[in-house]
Structure formats: structure tokens, C-alpha cells
Structure 1
Amino acid sequence: MILCCGEALIDMIPASLPDGLEAFIPHAGGAALNVAIAIGRLGAPAGLFTGLSHDMFGRQLAIAAQESKVDISLAVRSDRPTTLAFVELINGNARYVFHDENSAGRMLTEQDLPDLPQSIDTLVFGGISLIHAPAADTYAQLARREAGRRCIVMDPNIRSGFVTDEAAYRARLMGMLKVADIVKISVDDLDWLLPETEDALTALLALGPALAVLTRGSEGALAMHRDKWHVEVASRPTMVVDTVGAGDTFLAGMIVGAWESGLLSRNAVENITPNALREILSFAAAAAGVSVSRAGANPPWRHEL
């Protein structure tokens, strides 16, 4: 199983009602949940470790996960509120305002960390869950604990406007990148993480990962391997509705492509070939292309590719 570790929240997506009034529609979202749902829909075994509320939104998130074949048995349930992310769409691109104080997701502690069954061989981290303690430190501890025993995948998915302690956040991310095997990162995230760094992707690999994949929106993706070779894939032409969850779907496509090829392990990633990686990234681009063609975080099912 591929266990996605991080936030499950409600994306409040703007919409126009038939009478012309503006409204927000609640959609299941959050980086970890988006990735888990996309993995489940694409046909690989997915699980979710997060904090889930017993409130109405928490129930919505649980149903959304289960409908996409995501195992939520390791999720920690509580009476704390669900995190809400109000989305502003500007030229199809999403900006977020988060309401997260004392939420079910944010208040996870190291005492909530589960003993993982042997069936889980890959852990995926990223998103706003890595910004604020105690949950951020809980996820970082889990990554350190399992590094070397399971494949560690990371997508920082940085929301800089939500960061209140930049020094602590940067230190946490750097520590997790050092134990990661695979990193997926956007151009904006790489610029924020390693500002004014010449050849930032090489610098990222020097931290420890065997593979780094840089997503560049309509310009496709560039992947660089520790052995100094790289491959590129183009994005899929499509009519873009919005980009909510696009990066999460691309990451899920990468993971499922690698899993189906038997390449989702530390040793396999270190020895992956350019041709094999190109096929994996092409599959990820196809999945992301479907996601951006419709509103909200709504990744494709396998039959839609």
C-alpha cells in the first residue's frame, strides 16, 4: 500500500449561483487526500494517515476517500473542526486562505503515530501539514522513522502565505528532503526553497533524493536523476478550467506509474532508466491533463485516460 500522510481538508471553491449570486461550494481536498484519491482512482492501493474530524466536513472527507478506494483505517478521528481552505481563482490559478486553528489535522501529535503494517511500502508527504506544529513535527518524525525501510516520496507543495515561522519550516523541509527518495516540486516551490541558487534542481538532489521531478505547468516536467541524467515530458494540451489539485494528480500518476512498473522502491529508483522514467512521467502528465480540465480537485479514474 501507498500511504499518503498529511492534510485532508475542505476546499471552498467559488461558484456562481443561477440567480447570479456568488457562493462557495465545499469540495474534498488537501494535498494528502488529493494524492490518495488519485492513486486509488488510478488503480493502486492507497491509504491515508491524517487527522479527521467527526463533524459534517470530516464525514464528507471520509466518504470521498472511501468512494475512491482509499483505506482510512489509520486516520486519527477527533471532535476538533475540519480545516477549511477558501480558494480564490485568478486566471484559473488557485490562491488559498486557510482556517486551521486547533483543527483535527493540525493537532496530530507523535503519540498518534501508528505502527505501520508490512503491506505499506511507500510513504508520501507534503502540503500545508508540514507547516505548523504539532502535526508538522509528527509527520517529520514519521518520515525519519521509516526512512531506509520504506520508499519516501515528498512534494513540498509550499503555501508561503500560510507560513508563520519561516526558519522552522525551512529547517523541517530540509530535514525531510534529506531522507526522501523521490521529490516532486514545482518551479515556484523550488524558487522559494532554494532562492538565488544556481542549478537549484542539482542542489536539491545533493540533499539526498535519488530523483527530483520539476513540474512546469504548461511547459511540462523535467526529471533529474542523482546520476546526472535527465528527461523531459510535455504537458497534455487541454482546456484548463482550474489548476486545483493538478500537482497532486501529477504526483499520484508518477507514483502509480512507478508502482505498476515495479520501480517504487529506494533501490529501484536509484537504478531507474531514462526510458522507464519517461513512460512514468507521460502517464502522470496524462492524468494531470484530465484533472485541470474540470473544476476543483477531481482526478481521473483509470478508464478516463
Structure 2
Amino acid sequence: MNGHALVVGEALVDIVRRAGSEPVEHVGGSPLNVALGLGRLGRAVQFVTRVGADERGTRIVEHLTAAGVALTPGSTSADRTATAQAELDEKGSARYEFDITWDPVEPPMTADVVLVHTGSIATVLEPGCDVVAELVALQSRTSTVSFDPNIRPALIADPARGRARIERLVTLADVVKASDEDLEWFAPGRDPLDTAREWLSRGPAVVAVTRGGAGAVAVCAAGTVEVPAVQVEVVDTVGAGDAFTAGLLDGLWSFGFVGIERQERLRDIGTAELRAALETAAWTSALTVARAGADLPTLAERVAARKVTR
């Protein structure tokens, strides 16, 4: 299918600290990782973001350009590039502290955008979150919409308002991916799968929930599908969920479910087709956690890894 993806959201540098080691910097940001992942998987991608014309911003631009991702005008006009301090525990799981402002320049609409994706900080941090919501609402008329809340509670000053913003994007989305931790924050004390089913009733065709080493589960009109995590030696989990999102979108795109003209087909997706997309996502995530930082795989790397296991 012709056309490209438009990814909207933050780009930053993760300063990763592990006990007993010097900090290491990696390019990151949830939407950036999705844009990078889709680019490495061979998709045409434009990225709406906000970085500075500084050393870290230059590194981000070069990193994306190498993956074939193009930045929209105004994306390099921030005063400084955002950072996230990531503290890794003994299992490689990360805890973050952010230094970020978010005020993107809205790009003009283009007719060949078949997929728009957003999520994370960009959808809840003022003032830019309102620009993102309006852009997604406009693009939803002509594109498949994907949303990953990737919730960072420390950056949500008003939880009720944050939940309302998340709900709005859920209703606009065709595909939602969230972690079980996201859903537990959104609806404390409730089974995450019950929240996923409620979200499905609000408009999406697919709601997928990642559960770390326990794999993933997704709901659609045809039913519920579970897939196990692909077993690898975990280096760290930075970018794992974003890689899953990129893999899921790539899988759905490959199977003919992306684009406004495919919207009804996506709503009628069967469990076998959804399982295939989830397995593609699981492999994309596994290859990412097997190496340091959000270093998402290329299409060739994923194909080669899957052949080895067959």
C-alpha cells in the first residue's frame, strides 16, 4: 500500500543509569521509538516532534534520518532537547524522571497519510497535548489512528484531566496499545483486561495489552487473543512497549488493515489475523529488549530471527 505514517510526539535522550556503571545516553521517547521502528521496518514515516538545535537534538535527527524518518517543519525549533533520567534495576526495568517541555508546531494535512500514531507524554503534557488531540481528530477522517497512552504519572499533575484526555484519544483511535501498568493506573483495582474491553466499546477496532514477560493479550469484536512473550536474554526493557507498537502496526499494515478505506475491514478483523499481527509485535519487542537502549530491529533482522526458530 502506498502512503506513509505520521507519528506525533516527543523525542528525547534517555540518560540510562545502572548501579555500578557510568550513565549511557540513548535516543528515545515513546513516539520517536515508534517512528524509528516503522522506518527500520521499511515504512515511509514523517515525525512531528520538538527538539533543539543542540548536540542532543542533532543526534536525534541523525538517528531518525538513518532510519528513513523525515521530520516535519518546525520540529527542530525547541530551546533545548528534552531528557529522561532512566534508573535500571537488577532486572533491566527502568524508572524515569523527565526534563521536558512540549509545544509542537502543527504540520499541514497531507492526503497520503494512511496511518497516524501518537501517545505518551505528548498527549497529556500542556500546552502541546491540545495541539496533538486536534491534529489526531482531523487526521482520523482520512487515516487509521493508533494510540499508546504509555502513561507517565509523574507528568500528569491532574489525574482526572489526564484520564479525560486519554479517553478522548481512545474514542478517536482504531488501534490502541497499552501496558497492564497503564490500565492499572487508569482504573485502579480493576482487571486491565476489563478496562481494555471497555475501551473497545468506545470505538477502537483493536485494543492490545502488553504484560511484560507474560506476553500480550488483545481484544477485538471477534474475541480475545493471547500470545506469549518471545524468550530472549533481556539486556534492558527500554523501548519494549514502543517496539511492540511498531511491530503491531507493521503487522496490521502488511495484512491490509491500514488506511481509511480499510477501516471496516479492520473492524471485522478475525482472531487468526490479529494473532499473526501480535506475534509480529512480540518478535519486534523481543529483539529490542535483547540489546541495550531502544534499538529497534530492522525488517531483515526480524525476518532472520524468526527463520532461526522455525
> Normalised by the size of structure 1, how large is the TM-score?
0.92
* Cα-to-partner distance string for 1:11-63 (whole Å, 9 max, x where unaligned): 011258xxx7x422221100111001111111222221111211111111100
The correspondence for 1:290, drawn from 280, 287, 292, is: 287
Match of 2:236 in 1: 242
Aligned residue in 2 for 1:107: 103
Unaligned runs of 5+ in 2: 303-310
Partner letter of residue 34 of structure 1? N
**Identical-residue share of aligned pairs (%):** 34
Matched, 1:203 2:198: yes
Partner of 1:168: 161
- 1:158 alignment partner, one of 151, 164, 169: 151
Instruction: Compute the displacement of 1:131 (Å).
Output: 2.3
CA gap 1:217/1:136 in 2 versus in 1, 3 angstroms: same
* Counterpart amino acid of residue 289 in structure 2: V
Alpha-carbon deviation of 1:252? 0.2
Q: Deviations over 1:117-165 (max 9, x none)?
A: 1121111011111221111111111112222321110000001122212
Q: Which of 128, 134, 147 lines up with 2:121 in the alignment?
A: 128
In the other structure, the counterpart of 2:52 is 53
* Paired position in structure 2 for 1:2: 5
215, 218, 228: which one aligns with 2:210: 215
Number of residue equivalences: 293
| Greater displacement, 1-10 / 72-81 | 72-81
Note the C-alpha offset of 1:194. 2.2
Q: Are residue 87 (structure 1) and residue 83 (structure 2) matched?
A: no
Amino acid at match of 1:40: G
Aligned to 2:16: 13
Is the Cα contact below 8 Å between 1:46 and 1:70 reproduced in 2? yes
- Note if contact 1:214-1:222 (Cα within 8 Å) is conserved in structure 2: yes
- Aligned partner of 1:98 in structure 2 is 98
Give the superposition deviation at 1:170: 1.3
Equivalent pair of 1:48/1:75 in contact (CA under 8 Å): no
Q: 2:251 aligns with which of 252, 257, 267?
A: 257
Q: What stretches of structure 1 of length at least 5 have no aligned partner?
A: none
Cα distance in 2 between the residues matched to 1:286 and 1:132: 31
CA contact (8 A) 1:9 1:30 kept: yes
CA distance in 1, matches of 2:213, 2:159: 29
- Other structure's SS at 2:113 match: coil
Match of 1:281 in 2: 278
- What's the CA shift for 1:213? 0.5
- 2:184 and 2:145 map into 1 onto residues whose CA distance is 22
- TM-score (norm. length: structure 2): 0.90
SS at match of 2:22: strand
- 1:302 equivalent to 2:295? Answer no
Q: Which amino acid aligns with 1:263?
A: F
One-letter amino acid of the counterpart of residue 69, structure 1 = G
Aligned-pair Cα RMSD in Å: 1.6
Letter in 1 for 2:273: A
Moved more, 158-167 or 29-38: 158-167
